[in-house]
A and B are shown apart, each in its own frame.
Chain A
Amino acid sequence: MRKKVGAVILILFFSFMLFGASEARDFGEPEYIDLDEHLIENAQEDTGANNVVTAVLYDYRSFDTLGEATVLFAAIASVMVVLRRMA
């Protein structure tokens, strides 16, 4: 019973996703380019680094890296609680 309902829903979902993938914007021609153009032109002068991706990760969006360090710490602490008897 579960597998028949799952098969029907899976086929509907797959056809809807294929229709959405063919109607999307062309691959390689983005439309809103103002933010990234400003970041690529001014990253070397503001931060002093050659790598634009590292400057975005640690300077313009450093709070996302702080949240990611928190997620790593929470996952490792949970592993330590679940497997307690084996050190």
Chain B
Amino acid sequence: MINLPYIAVTILLLIGFYGLIFRDNIIKTVISVGILASAANLFLVSTGYRAEGITPIFTSVPEDMVMVFAVPQALVITAIVIGLAMTTLMLALVIRIYKEYGTLDTKEIRRLRG
């Protein structure tokens, strides 16, 4: 089994896009966007791995070990917090949609009223 993290990224992409295309509930759309963001973060972290490496911190580590790369981990910290802000704004919009239309089905909401 070569390149197992990259195959896991493709499986997560498949699950995210399936929930985005084939399901009608709005809450499932919000969850699928979160799964797609997790797939991107996993791919970004797994590009900076060296064989048998330890965390890049100098406090009380065993001697003569190679360290993993440090730049992709800093970029992923920023990307996770941006995903949190995106989920918050989407949930606020879902609250306003529910108060206006009374239902959470996207086939009913497609016909604009009022």
Chain A positions within 8 Å of B, measured between CB atoms, are 2-3, 6, 10, 13-14, 17-18, 21-22, 24, 26-30, 33, 35-36, 39-40, 43-44, 50-53, 56-57, 61, 64-65, 68, 71-72, 75-76, 78-79, 82-83
Contacts and interface: CB of A to CB of B under 8 A. Distances in A.
B96 A14 contact: no
**Interface secondary structure of B, over-half rule:** helix
A3 B22 contact: yes
Interface residues of B, number: 43
Given A6-B21, A22-B2, A27-B2, A40 B81 contact: no
Given A3-B22, A18-B10, A27 B4 contact: yes
B3 A36 contact: no
Interface of B: 2-7, 9-10, 13-14, 17-18, 21-22, 46-51, 56-59, 67, 69-71, 73-75, 77-78, 81-82, 85-86, 88-89, 92-93, 95-96
A24 B6 contact: yes
Contacts of B2: 22, 26-27
